[in-house]
Chains A and B, each alone.
Chain A
Amino acid sequence: MNASVIDRRRVLAGGGALIVSFSMTSAYAADQPAPAAPPPKLPGSLKDAPFLDAWIRIDADGAITAFTGKAELGQGFKTAFQQIAAEEMDVPFASLTVITADTGRTANEGYTSGSHSMQDSGTAIQNAAAQARALLVAEAARRFEVPEESLHTENGAVISFDGRRIGYGELVAGDLLHVQAQPTSKLKDPATFKVMGQPVPRLDIPAKVTGGAAYVQDMRLPGMVHARIVRPPSYGAQLTACDISATVKMPGVVKVVRDGNFLAVVAQKEFQAVKAMRVLSAAAQWKETASLPKQDDLLRVLTRLPSQDTTIFQHNDPSAVGAKTIEATYTRPYQSHGSIGPSCAVAQSTDGVMTVWTHTQGVYPDRQGIAEMLRVPLQRVRLIHVEGSGCYGHNGADDAAADAALIARAMPGVPVRVQWMRDQEHGWEPYGPAMVTKLKASLDANGAIADWNFEVWSNTHSMRPGGAGSMLAAQHMAQPFAVPDPKPLPLPEGGGDRNAIPIYTFPNAHVVHHFIPAMPLRISAMRALGAYHNVFSIESFMDELAHAAEADPVEFRLKHLADSRGRDVINKAAEGFGWRKQQKAPQGRGYGFAFARYKNLAAYCAIATEIEINSETGQPRLVRAVAAVDSGQAVNPDGLKNQVEGAIVQSMSWTLFESVTFDDTRITSIDWQTYPIARFNSVPDRIDVHIINRPGLPFLGSGETGQGPAAASIANAIANATGKRLRNLPLTRRRIKDAIDA
């Protein structure tokens, strides 16, 4: 046993030793690359954090903890991870604990994004647990002096053929689990699963429905004070004057923090801070610049900005010749994550170490940004993930964390809670980027697609921290950090070009990504990234082509799709919906269908919808939706259904209602009046989600797989109901009415 191990133990045990042992923690988990990576790739996130005890800890009393570097965002995967660990460790589900993202305790798994949690962390935990169990069995065999094959595990113990039994806790003495993972694990046979594949109730829900402390918003540290930010009224606005004399005299006010264009007020009580913020806001004078593009002309705005153009897919078969060509252009506006709870963070600077409790999706990258902003070494900053309101991507979470850190720096020792206001979240969050797609395709004499051309114009889809320049507070400081240059996210996952390459087989296909570096509005990752619009475009256009070919939309898709798992979800959704070839919906209604495999490498999803359109007002209403999903081995079927149901309702809201609005200077969609989202009146009568389970196959992320297909399915149903094709998101009542009246 060496010194670093002792420190690591102290770290893992939590408590007072945490700060001392930071560098040790990093040594195995975070900052250094894995020592000379073994030739075969380790499964999931084990490749970045290869020691088993970064994932699984067993205490002497037999208590087992699983660690994940991912953050629970309300998807419920904390429960799924616990199922996985319990299954592979062969212990009762309830006997485990799962610890989520904390730069002081867990592995660096980057961001919790892109439906990667099950693939990365779930896979790592599964393999680490399986290998840990194998080590325990080997240790027991050594002690019992019997062959391993004669032993089995049950309820946290290894049991021999002759009935001798030894608990995991007794076996773990020493450094048993501080070993590098092996590339392959002896995983359990899915047929023997006890807890994986079961709809285990989520662990977080009881506290959430009884008023337990569940969110960072609910944190109350001793001596904690409340801060509010006064943000500039628009991008780039400069604070020219601010008389703080009235503010500092207000009851409870303890501090006004000003650093360049960063302005905040701190008070003892929360509502005192709100009132002080109002007064401070009224006292602040700003110089604004008109820098925003024309909201109603995004097509031209985006296609005229300079772009870096890449052909990302090319396939030629000169023998296939088109006879009938159609083209179409689709647009998507900027859209908001629209978290119900505005962002919040708590920070405390103690003994030169800044601890920030945050609902960021990436504690490690965020730590890097905050350390850079505070100009301190990484070891002086610790980020701990605490759940917030659902974020659906990069919302204000990271910015609030930076705000809290900047204010807490000015108040050593005092815990500072920053809570954004509604208009701040709506006005300052980085939006899902606006996009344009242009499609052109030809049908051959048999009604099959002979050639396919797809071009997409988009910003990057991630401006997440790493550097300080991604955070508002750092941008607004007197010595500001520049916004980093945007980069396109690399394929195969892609960003603006995510799902731009068709999953269908076409003899000729040409796909171009026009990456636009200039960002007129602050943008970043929003659930499904470019896949939302690309799938909306491809799957709308597939319907337009099917219409031109006088073919049934489902049949037309199957005709061009070789992927058998894709065909299965299409057939399943069609069957569940009661889709019949060329059937006509009742008057005023329409049927739609769409399909995609998220990122062309994650979960498969097909969605059939029925829409009702009021022909007088244009008002659309999603009547029902039937989805089929294949996400590989389903760990928690009910959790998976919950995710897909939610994706359909949320995507419906994006698709029918949502666009960020702005004038030449300011964002004008700053609350629920000006950024309306679905309310209960719009919710469908029913949603059915059919899961095609694939026991033993890899986990495929499913948190975002529904967004694109739901959008296209709805658009196709509207076209089916009205005979009019709408190509500009959102498909609002007004646009539908105008199309009907045209």
Chain B
Amino acid sequence: MQSNRPLGLPRMIAGVIGVVVVVGAAAGFAVAWRPAIAAIELPAPSSFDPALVKRGRELAAIGNCNDCHTVKGGGSFAGGLPVQTPFGTIYSSNITPDVQTGIGRWPEEAFRRAMRSGVNRDGQHLYPTFPYDHFTNVSDEDDAALYAFLMTRPPVDAPPRANRLSFPLDQRFVIAGWKLLFLRRGLYQPDSTRSAEWNRGAYLGEGLAHCGACHTPRNGLGAERSNAQFAGGDVDNWQAFALNKQSPAPVPWDAEALYVYLRQGFHPDHGTARGPMAEVVSNLSSVNESDVRAIAIYMADVFGAPSIDDRKRGEAVLAQARSPAPLTLDSNVNAAGASIYAAACATCHETGRALPYGGVNLALSTALSSPDPRNAINIVLSGIRPVEGERSPIMPGFAASMNDGQIATLLQFLRDRFSNQPPWSGVEKMVADARQSQPVLLQTSSGSHDAPRESMRREKR
């Protein structure tokens, strides 16, 4: 899912038209045309090796496939998730083995071609909402496992919904031009100077897990900017934080923290995954822990070792979070914001109850230290909804009880009190926008993670 949201960038309008004009003609049929691959009879589920299917299940979770290809209340992998873009709406496809509406008649070769080069069995180009720019590096073995997994799912009769795009973007040959410019094919090449774990993490993180699809900014043509890898991106009106040196996290990330966060959905020094990331960690909770650890090791390297200053600041923030200074309302310039915080937020965020069921101490909040307030706005507006029937954090949303001005006042207070960053500007307008945008709800999965236990806390706060 993450990868398609960059299409939402307004600047793409100009960009894609540019593609049509400049590249479209040059690309021509030679690039655009791909042969259809002959349909097959639906293979019996029993024809797949159960071990391969099991491996495929984990890989699909690492690839976060269900997130895009399942709608709430719909069949798993049956597609139909609408993605709003300035050009229209693109719907995810049905990847269950239904012979009429899914991929039931696709041979493995067609599946692999789709993963490698974004072309369907009929030979049509697929919109890069499907992140084949990452999947292109997935190995033959892993593609085979994914194929085996998907072909053994219950088939769901769910006809694909027609994309609603305006001319010329509804012409799929346009995509060929985009690919010519941005699709770099090739399998992952291990770096022999690095550990096997690092290489495994790089293979997954750059490939199937497609982290950069969200966390790397896009250029005017909607492609990831190779010179700004992991510098932060946009997803569904959420900000995917920078995962490199520019990370706004108050406490620097390391491999262990990343592992814990990706595995259980929260980390005491960083908070709880929410927004589109909630689904990612939900999936990662079910896979082989060595793969999650490998991704964490690789991504920690992407973050890079923190500078001495960053480390010191992190330690200071942690100390502050452990014994927060008492809130004094009268001495504060933003008394209104402080009052709202004290009355509406502090009862959970300053109880000292451990994550994920106690609110994170906001000094640790990346959202408040980030240059972009949208994540903080989103979370204040909508809160965190319970996962049905499972132990999961709940935060009430304040969309109905606070107006835009009150939320802006609160956020400016939080920014001032809990980060060392300059005030945000235009917050009130962004709150109004966030109310309007109504992002697609991504809570398709049932659980964020295994019921997390609260850590044992015996000490008095």
The finding on whether chains A and B are genuine partners in a shared complex, rather than unrelated, reads yes
Show the binding face of A for B, using Cβ within 8 Å. Answer: 282, 285, 288, 587-588, 614-619, 656-657, 661, 663-665, 668-669, 671-676, 678-679, 681-682, 732-734, 741
Q: Which of B351-382 contact A (CB under 8 A)?
A: 357
Give the Cβ gap from A91 to chain B, nearest Cβ, in Å. Answer: 48
Report Cα–Cα, A676/B456, bound state, in Å.
Answer: 21
A733 touching B390 by the CB < 8 A rule?
A: yes
B446 touching A619 by the CB < 8 A rule?
A: yes
Q: Does B392 contact A (CB under 8 A)?
A: yes
A679 touching B76 by the CB < 8 A rule?
A: no
- 20 new A-B contacts at CB < 8 Å, known A617-B76, A617-B445, A733-B446: A615-B154, A616-B153, A617-B446, A619-B446, A656-B389, A657-B389, A661-B453, A663-B453, A663-B456, A665-B456, A665-B458, A668-B454, A669-B391, A672-B386, A673-B392, A675-B391, A682-B389, A732-B389, A733-B447, A741-B57
A674 touching B154 by the CB < 8 A rule?
A: no
* Contact A618 B446, CB 8 Å, known A656-B389, A674-B357, A678-B389: yes
A288 touching B458 by the CB < 8 A rule?
A: yes
Chain A: CB-nearest residue to B384 = A673
Chain A: CB-nearest residue to B447 = A733
Residues of B within 8 A of A668 (CB): 453-454
Can you list 23 residue pairs at the A/B interface with Cβ under 8 Å? A282-B461, A288-B458, A614-B446, A615-B154, A617-B445, A619-B388, A619-B446, A663-B453, A663-B454, A668-B453, A672-B394, A673-B357, A674-B391, A674-B454, A676-B387, A676-B391, A678-B389, A679-B388, A679-B389, A682-B388, A733-B389, A741-B54, A741-B57
The 4 A-B residue pairs whose C-beta atoms are closest, nearest first, are: A616-B76, A657-B389, A619-B446, A617-B446
Q: Does B137 contact A (CB under 8 A)?
A: no
Residues of A within 8 A of B389 (CB): 656-657, 676, 678-679, 682, 732-733
Report Cα–Cα, A664/B454, bound state, in Å.
Answer: 12
Q: Does B194 contact A (CB under 8 A)?
A: no
Report Cα–Cα, A588/B76, bound state, in Å.
Answer: 12
B76 touching A676 by the CB < 8 A rule?
A: no
Residues of B within 8 A of A619 (CB): 388, 446
Report Cα–Cα, A681/B387, bound state, in Å.
Answer: 10
B386 touching A614 by the CB < 8 A rule?
A: no
Residues of A within 8 A of B154 (CB): 587-588, 615
Residues of B within 8 A of A679 (CB): 386, 388-389
Give the Cβ gap from A425 to chain B, nearest Cβ, in Å. Answer: 16
Give the Cβ gap from B66 to chain A, nearest Cβ, in Å. Answer: 7
B394 touching A673 by the CB < 8 A rule?
A: yes
Give the Cβ gap from A93 to chain B, nearest Cβ, in Å. Answer: 42
A671 touching B390 by the CB < 8 A rule?
A: no
Give the Cβ gap from B183 to chain A, nearest Cβ, in Å. Answer: 30
User: Could you mark each residue 42-73 of chain B with 1 if its beta carbon is under 8 Å from any beta carbon of chain A, else 0?
Assistant: 00000000000010010000000010000000
Give the Cβ gap from A331 to chain B, nearest Cβ, in Å. Answer: 17
Q: Does B220 contact A (CB under 8 A)?
A: no
Residues of B within 8 A of A588 (CB): 154
A616 touching B66 by the CB < 8 A rule?
A: yes
Residues of A within 8 A of B57 (CB): 741
Report Cα–Cα, A657/B451, bound state, in Å.
Answer: 11
Residues of B within 8 A of A663 (CB): 453-454, 456
Q: How many B residues are at the interface, by size bracket? A: 20 to 34
* Contact A676 B446, CB 8 Å, known A616-B66, A616-B153: no
Give the Cβ gap from B81 to chain A, nearest Cβ, in Å. Answer: 15
B153 touching A676 by the CB < 8 A rule?
A: no
Give the Cβ gap from B147 to chain A, nearest Cβ, in Å. Answer: 16
B458 touching A734 by the CB < 8 A rule?
A: no
Q: Does B393 contact A (CB under 8 A)?
A: yes
Q: Does B413 contact A (CB under 8 A)?
A: no
Residues of A within 8 A of B153 (CB): 615-616
A676 touching B386 by the CB < 8 A rule?
A: yes
Report Cα–Cα, A668/B356, bound state, in Å.
Answer: 12
Among B76, B387, B451, B460, which residue has its beta carbon within 8 angstroms of that of A614?
A: B76
Residues of A within 8 A of B394 (CB): 672-673
Report Cα–Cα, A588/B156, bound state, in Å.
Answer: 11
Residues of A within 8 A of B391 (CB): 661, 669, 673-676
User: Could you mark each residue 399-417 of chain B with 1 if its beta carbon is under 8 Å from any beta carbon of chain A, else 0?
Assistant: 0000000000000000000
Give the Cβ gap from A217 to chain B, nearest Cβ, in Å. Answer: 20
Report Cα–Cα, A587/B76, bound state, in Å.
Answer: 13
Residues of A within 8 A of B289 (CB): none
Give the Cβ gap from B59 to chain A, nearest Cβ, in Å. Answer: 14
Give the Cβ gap from B411 to chain A, nearest Cβ, in Å. Answer: 24
Residues of A within 8 A of B256 (CB): none
* Contact A676 B390, CB 8 Å, known A615-B154, A616-B66: yes
Give the Cβ gap from B127 to chain A, nearest Cβ, in Å. Answer: 25
Select the residue from B57, B391, B447 with max chain A CB neighbours within 10 A: B391
Residues of A within 8 A of B450 (CB): 734
A671 touching B76 by the CB < 8 A rule?
A: no
A671 touching B357 by the CB < 8 A rule?
A: yes
Residues of B within 8 A of A614 (CB): 76, 446
Residues of B within 8 A of A282 (CB): 461
Select the residue from B388, B394, B451 with max chain A CB neighbours within 10 A: B388
Chain B: CB-nearest residue to A284 = B460
Report Cα–Cα, A288/B57, bound state, in Å.
Answer: 45
Report Cα–Cα, A663/B77, bound state, in Å.
Answer: 38
Report Cα–Cα, A661/B450, bound state, in Å.
Answer: 14
* Contact A676 B392, CB 8 Å, known A614-B446, A663-B453, A671-B357: yes
Chain B: CB-nearest residue to A677 = B389
Give the Cβ gap from B442 to chain A, nearest Cβ, in Å. Answer: 14
Residues of A within 8 A of B445 (CB): 617
Give the Cβ gap from B158 to chain A, nearest Cβ, in Å. Answer: 14
Chain A: CB-nearest residue to B454 = A668
Residues of B within 8 A of A616 (CB): 66, 76-77, 153
Q: Which of B431-461 contact A (CB under 8 A)?
A: 445-447, 450-451, 453-454, 456, 458, 460-461
Give the Cβ gap from B424 to chain A, nearest Cβ, in Å. Answer: 30
Residues of B within 8 A of A665 (CB): 456, 458
Residues of A within 8 A of B460 (CB): 285
Chain B: CB-nearest residue to A286 = B460
Report Cα–Cα, A665/B386, bound state, in Å.
Answer: 26
Chain B: CB-nearest residue to A619 = B446
A673 touching B393 by the CB < 8 A rule?
A: yes
Residues of A within 8 A of B66 (CB): 616
Report Cα–Cα, A668/B456, bound state, in Å.
Answer: 10
Give the Cβ gap from B57 to chain A, nearest Cβ, in Å. Answer: 7
Report Cα–Cα, A481/B57, bound state, in Å.
Answer: 57
Report Cα–Cα, A732/B387, bound state, in Å.
Answer: 13
Report Cα–Cα, A657/B445, bound state, in Å.
Answer: 16
Chain B: CB-nearest residue to A656 = B389
